[in-house]
Chain A
Amino acid sequence: MTQPTQSQATRRSFLKLATAGAAAVATGPWVSRHAQAKPVSITFARESSYVKNFDVHFQNVMAPAYEKATGIKIEYQIQAAGGSAVPQLVSMVENKTGADLAWVQQEWLYRDALVDVSDIAEEVGKQQGGWYDEIKRLSIDKGKWKSVPNGNIGQLMNYRKDWFDEAGIKSFPDTWDEFLEAGIKLKAKGHPFGMSMGHGFADNYSWLYPLLWSYGVTVMDKDGKKVALDSSETAKAVEYVKRLYKEACIEDCIGWLDPHNNKAFLTSQISCTNNAYSIMVSAKRDLPEMGKVIEHALNPKGPTGQRYHALVPVTHGVFGYSKDPQAAKDFLRWMMDPKQYRPWIASGDMYFAPYLHGFDKVPEWDVEPRVKPFQKVLETGKLTSWPAPANRQHGEVINRWIVIDMFTKAITGTPTKNAIAEAVSQIKAIYG
């Protein structure tokens, strides 16, 4: 009785593999040569938008319009939120293949791989009132624009006006000290604050860094060469946060990633947090009663008498490895043209605030009065790298949560002096 012997089966599978490998090698150069012709489609990668309408508008209105006008299909590649976009972008850049243009998160990692878009950016700036200065520090590298800013995700204090009124606090605290007092009162009534201090990327940075800045402290000096975190004001800021946590906050919040404060707010566990206006959006949709009593307020002032906000930028860049960067640039230019740009921004209910002065006073801001404060964020908003350049070292400090953990380590028992010293030495090691 004959059975297929092992050697036959082995030969067969080996041949299959070898042929596949040979075919791949042979078609490689052919495929890239072949693709010099006009592209049939451009792939645009972006993280899914908080406001679903924004994505829908793009997919159903803009992409078909562009295809009609130019014959080029736009592939809208939605990326998962919560930090998965960056690995995809990194992978694309390393392997020199992937989307043609994208929301270039953490662009300091790969600016060299992005195409010069100065012509587009400068034209847009001229046309639409000029760019806010701060965002130029992210998009311009060595004098060239490597990305075109699309909008800012504003982060402000979200609070329950009804509970604040009950506690006798008629207007939102203007200084951090008043903020603490308010928190103590509210916590006593069972409505603590919930200030995110965990390993997230937005809701922690959006108040802790402005707090530091308002105490007169920055992480680095403005050249990005010397660590500026070790100052006597830092200790004051850390002590303040410790008090705030112990006396005014819910215990959970030092472990909170970005979605946790939304959940806590919507389940009526906290009275105030720092967030974009996604909480109000969810409340209006699912909990209309709560939706009526949510308000937004600017970050409080510090001992320096200044208040600050943190910018969360959305910028678009074109990759050098793209088969037809010019086509991608043309699309980008078209996207930023007011005919397309303005309705698109409006479809997102101003969740993404343009970095252009031409939008400072547009009527779209008045549609929902509680969204209007987000426009003010642009006036005192700074990149988290401020005043230093937004480069890789800064990115490393952010991604290792060194300054955030300085606060949480002090909260969980490390003496303030040591927590600061540890953070400083780690930052020094990163900047070299």
Chain B
Amino acid sequence: MVEGRGFFARLVRLYLPLAVCLVVMLFPFYWMLITSIKPNRELYSAKIMPLIVYQPTLKHYYDLFADTNFLLWTYNTMLVAVVTTVVSLVLGAMVAYPLARLNFPGAAVVAIGIAATYLVPQPLLFIPMADIINRLELGNTLRAVMLTYPTLLIPFCAWLLMGYFKSVPRELEEAARIDGASRFQAMWRVVLPLTTPGLLSAGIFAFTLAQNEFLYALIFLAKSDVRTVPVGAITELIRGDVFYWGQLMAAALLGSIPVAVIYSFFVDYYVAGLTAGSVKS
């Protein structure tokens, strides 16, 4: 990438916009952090600036772990997210690859079909979805959401991956096939490595959507020990019109920051993947 000259250029081009991005995106998290360590009386006090806490307490975190099944919810959420992401990425790539790079009869129908699956929004799908789950006797099991989440995620992964698959030049694949590779080998060894950033992006988003999902989890996972974090938090930390703000915010932070930390490792990985697998064949 062509570099700017000197500190001032970097300030304008990088540090200032970066600071703006960070503040805008992250100020609510600072608020969440403060609230999660603020005793209730300070929270409700009109005299105290919201961004300061005078007598921080870990009580909310303690209550979260002691009074709710938070750890169990976290485990459930992660398990479901990992499984559904893997399934959705694989199946999504299997849809995206032909649609993006091959010609075949029925391509238009398939494309429309995949897109059409988004036409009925979740709030209306869930009754027949609940019917299927109940017939398969999967109510109140994590398998219920493991089977239903991919229905949301596969079309999404497919769409996203199509864009990345399309951006790999044809010449590369053709060169490999001329060298004697089969289609599968060409895909596996040439195209997929080059679209690793795309695969990781799709994976990150599928994972995020999976661990964020609320409606199906709410309907299918009614018992506390199979709940995911969003559903568990809303169900047990909001009682009528009484919100347990401190614990809610603690749950929000604990449910997102570790995930972000994990992501930061993948972000590194896909940059390396890019520069390694490059393009001068």
Contacts and interface: CB of A to CB of B under 8 A. Distances in A.
A202 B241 CA distance: 10
Given A95-B134, A287-B44, A50 B239 contact: yes
A24 B136 contact: yes
A95 B126 CA distance: 11
Interface string B180-210: 0000110000000000000000000000000
A282 interface: yes
30 contacts: A3-B184, A20-B136, A24-B135, A24-B136, A47-B240, A48-B236, A50-B239, A50-B240, A80-B235, A81-B239, A82-B234, A82-B238, A84-B218, A87-B126, A87-B219, A88-B219, A91-B130, A91-B219, A94-B127, A202-B241, A262-B242, A263-B243, A267-B45, A275-B241, A278-B241, A281-B242, A285-B40, A286-B41, A286-B43, A287-B41
Interface of B: 40-41, 43-46, 126-127, 130-131, 134-137, 139, 184-185, 218-219, 222-224, 231, 234-236, 238-243
A258 interface: yes
Nearest to B239: A48
A33 to B, nearest CB: 14
A276 B197 CA distance: 53
B159 to A, nearest CB: 22
A27 interface: yes
B137 A79 contact: no
A77 B223 contact: yes
Contacts of A6: 184
Q: In which size bucket is the chain A interface?
A: 35 or more
9 residue pairs, one from A and one from B, having the closest CB atoms: A50-B240, A286-B40, A80-B235, A259-B241, A266-B44, A258-B241, A48-B239, A91-B130, A24-B136
A49 interface: yes
Given A45-B222, A77-B222, A278-B240, A267 B46 contact: yes
A65 interface: no
Given A95-B127, A259-B238, A267-B46, 17 more contacts: A3-B184, A24-B137, A28-B135, A49-B239, A78-B235, A79-B235, A80-B231, A80-B234, A84-B234, A91-B127, A97-B134, A202-B241, A258-B240, A259-B241, A262-B242, A275-B241, A286-B40
B231 to A, nearest CB: 7
Nearest to A96: B134
Contacts of A24: 135-137
